[in-house]
Amino acid sequence: MIPRYIGIAVLLFLPMPILIVVLSSFTSAGYLSFPIKGLSLRWYAEFLGSADWLRVLGTSALLALIGAVVSTGACFAAAWAVVRHKIRFGATYETILLAPLIFPHAAIGVIMIVTLSSLGWLGTFSGLVLVHCILTIPYAYRPVAAALRKSDAALEEAAASLGARPWRTFWMVTLPAVRPGLVTSLLFTFIISFDEVTVTLFLVGPFVMTLPVQVFSEVLESASPIIAAVSAALVLFTSAMVFILDRVIGIQFFVERD
Amino acid sequence: MARDNTPAEPILSIDHVTKRFDGAVAVNSVSIDIMQGEFVTLLGPSGCGKSTLLRMIAGFETPTQGRILMRGEDMSHRPAYDREIGLVFQNLALFPHMNVFDNVAFGLRARGRTDGLQAKVQDMLALVGLDGFDTRRTGQISGGQRQRVALARSLVTQPDVLLLDEPLSALDLKLRRQLQTELKRIQQETGITFVFVTHDQEEALSMSDRIAVMNAGRVEQFSSAVDTYHRPATEFVARFVGETNLLRGQVQAASGGRVTLKLDNVTATVTAPAGDTSLGLGTDVAISIRPEHMTLGTDQPIAAQVLSHSFSGATITYALDSAAGRLLAQVPFQPGGGHPLPAKAPVSVGWTDTAVTLIPGKPGRS
Ligand SMILES: Nc1ncnc2c1ncn2[C@@H]1O[C@H](COP(=O)(O)OP(=O)(O)OP(=O)(O)O)[C@@H](O)[C@H]1O
Ligand SMILES: [Mg+2]
């Protein structure tokens, strides 16, 4: 058997890099280093005072928001057809929807360059939206389909037998039942899109740039501690979102098997 | 029962309805007419198609063949929400995110009948004995109370027909008996036509005006509760509804509305009312005699031996081994009346001819 202390060591080790990034963001020095020289908030001030950084932050947030809503909506429609209407080849469609999970990101990047340039969308915001939807769909489909499977179709039939038209049934019965799944989907697709680097790297251009890709290119050019400040802000923001939503609605669906 | 004196149009007509799932027949050419205000039960073993038939009436499944008519109007293309048919589900399907009041009010709101909504819901909660439960969540009430909420929710819109799919099967026996009585009272008070599904024959007999006994997708018999028990039309019905003794034989003579049978295994003849069936000599038939119509004594035609007995308070039922096979005989129990007889005690059994039901058909068919 593996000794217990190895497991504990691994668990303690995993968050270490995050801790280091957060700590080094408070440095007063002009370059990235660890341990830090002096304590200051100057890199946070620089981040929030920079129009460039705020612009890419805005782009990333909008991109993630649109991506989350579109892929959650699309996955709800798909899961509805597979789970409720039990369409033929439903299992095959599910596999296709989950495929981006196992497809190499570099390959997706190349495929998308070709696809977007033939659409004339290369280096545009719309192009990024399309790609981010494709990338986030697996993360949306799992929780939405699981929630639909878990909610009893008899509830919808009961509503119909009581005279509720399809839309009323949808709003009053289906939606409340699958809400935790939808929230989980929105949350995770938002985070995945907000953090996405590998594929986006192929597709950004002079007119559109996302926050994580900007961080990446900054790292290549300089070692400014502003990168640590941006990263620390991202970590804080993501954890806060997960924590709040878990408290309010519960996000058990993502881990649970469907 | 209103149907005896009003030759009115049935409120619900099921007209040669067949349902196939991927080639497998779930409901097979069922035709029954149900009258306004009737309490009709679909009775049959698991998998015989009761729920499927109910779901077609409610509009959740489409018949493969045949039509379903309400007051003479074909329902085929009418969606479930547009039929005035209530449905109480076996698992109740109460809306988990709504309280008791909102569950009951759902149908009125959905149909836009919000005038006097508060009062209607309160009246209905009172009718099912749930005063003061309005703000409870559905997870905070007992099984029997959930049952009542489901009933109130379906009744408040005053549907033309209320379908109930084994609504009591999840409850314990005592609560079940209590709710049976209450269900019957509510049905009579509201005058709403009930179509009730169960696989419990006692429940069916005690509650129904008429019973449709189903077997493998077909309706074997559709008749009053009394006739279902006392005049079973098939061996299946005789066996499924209550305990019975089935004996097989051949027609020996038929005259004056009565037939004389030569029974297999025993050298006895019985005469039985032939009903409307005319049977040729030598035809195979079966007879059904209920255990309570058997006579136990020492001078009866069939010799037997006691195998075991079961005592149920007012009566005692003997399992007997006889020349005609295993028989059941139920006799009244009186203290000091010599019962129970010990195992292996020699007895003889017989019956009165009027209690015999003749079932035409091939032996072995069930
Ligand atoms: N959606 C379906 N797809 C395929 N077969 C089905 C479907 N619904 C029912 N069946 C089949 O039809 C037959 C009748 O089923 P049904 O549910 O009507 O039986 P039931 O009499 O209600 O049984 P129970 O007393 O167990 O509820 C069964 O053999 C069942 O497997
Ligand atoms: Mg059923």
| Burial (CB count <10 Å: 0-12, 13-18, 19+), residue B319 | middle
Q: What is the CATH number for B257?
A: 2.40.50
| Burial (CB count <10 Å: 0-12, 13-18, 19+), residue B223 | middle
First to last CA, chain B: 31
Model pLDDT for residues B202-245, shown as the tens digit of each residue: 999 999 999 999 999 999 999 999 999 988 989 999 999 988 99
Between A122-136, A162-176, B184-198, B239-253, the lowest mean confidence (pLDDT) is in: B239-253
Residue carrying structure tokens 């005053």: B158
The DSSP code sequence of B175-229 is HHHHHHHHHHHHHHHH--EEEEEES-HHHHHHH-SEEEEEETTEEEEEEEHHHHH
> Same structural domain for residues B279 and B330?
yes
Closest residue (by CA) to atom 8 of ligand 1? B52
In a domain, B4, yes or no: no
In a domain, B2, yes or no: no
Q: Parallel, antiparallel, or unpaired: how do β-strands B210-215 and B39-43 relate?
A: parallel
Rounded CA separation B200/A88 (Å): 37
Mean pLDDT of chain A: 88
Contact B40, B34 (CB under 8 A): yes
> Same structural domain for residues B118 and B226?
yes
The fold of A46-255 is MetI-like fold (1.10.3720)
In a domain, B3, yes or no: no
Query: pLDDT value at position B276?
Result: 55
Query: pLDDT value at position A113?
Result: 92
Q: Which pair of tokens denotes residue B140?
A: 């905070």
Query: pLDDT value at position B364?
Result: 42
Do A154 and B86 lie within an 8 Å CB cutoff? no
End position of a domain, from candidates B191, B210, B236: B236
Tell me, in angstroms, the distance from the centre of ligand 2 to residue A86's CA: 20
Closest residue (by CA) to atom 3 of ligand 1? B21
Per-domain residue ranges for chain A? 46-255
Query: pLDDT value at position B268?
Result: 59
Ligand nearest to the Cα of B199, by number: 1
Ligand nearest to the Cα of B20, by number: 1
Q: Is B311 on the interface with A (CB under 8 A)?
A: no
> Same structural domain for residues B327 and B297?
yes
> Same structural domain for residues B232 and B272?
no
Query: pLDDT value at position B7?
Result: 55
Whether the per-residue pLDDT at A85 is higher than 60: the answer is yes
> Same structural domain for residues B180 and B103?
yes
User: What are the counts of helices (DSSP H) followed by strands (DSSP E) for chain B?
Assistant: 8, 20
Q: Residues in chain B with pLDDT < 70?
A: 1-7, 256-257, 266-278, 361-366
Tell me, in angstroms, the distance from the centre of ligand 1 to residue B19's CA: 10
Nearest to B95 by CA among B40, B44, B153, B37: B153
Whether the pTM exceeds 0.95: the reply is no
Do A154 and B110 lie within an 8 Å CB cutoff? no
> Same structural domain for residues B292 and B209?
no
| Contacts for A55 with CB less than 8 Å, ≥ 6 apart | A209
| Contacts for A182 with CB less than 8 Å, ≥ 6 apart | A72, A76, A143, A144, A147, A175
> Same structural domain for residues B142 and B196?
yes
| Contacts for A123 with CB less than 8 Å, ≥ 6 apart | A203, A204, A205, A206, A207, A208
- Ligand 1 close to Cβ of residue B50 (< 6 A): yes
> Same structural domain for residues B247 and B224?
no
Whether the per-residue pLDDT at A98 is higher than 80: the answer is yes
Helix segments in chain B, DSSP class H: 50-58, 100-110, 117-127, 143-155, 173-190, 201-207, 225-230, 235-240
Which of A162, A173, A175, A179 should be substituted to probe chain B, the one whose Cβ sees the most B Cβ atoms within 10 Å?
A162
Rounded CA separation B11/B265 (Å): 49
Nearest to A136 by CA among A194, A78, A209: A194
Residue B150 domain boundaries:
12-236
- Ligand 1 close to Cβ of residue B46 (< 6 A): yes
- Ligand 1 close to Cβ of residue B51 (< 6 A): yes
In a domain, B7, yes or no: no
Q: Can you name the residues that pair with A18 across neighbouring β-strands?
A: none
Quick check: helix, strand or coil at residue B335?
coil
Q: What is the CATH number for B100?
A: 3.40.50.300
Query: pLDDT value at position A253?
Result: 46
Q: Average the pLDDT over A190-205 and give the result.
A: 90
End position of a domain, from candidates B202, B236, B270: B236
Number of domains forming the structure of chain B: 2
Model pLDDT for residues A21-73, shown as the tens digit of each residue: 888 888 888 888 777 788 888 889 888 888 899 999 999 999 999 999 999 99
Its ipTM equals 0.81
> Same structural domain for residues B231 and B248?
no
In a domain, B51, yes or no: yes
Quick check: helix, strand or coil at residue A53?
helix
End position of a domain, from candidates B205, B236, B267: B236
Closest residue (by CA) to atom 19 of ligand 1? B47
The percentage of chain A sitting over the pLDDT mark of 90, rounded to a whole number, equals: 45
> Same structural domain for residues B76 and B120?
yes
Nearest to B218 by CA among B92, B104, B66: B66
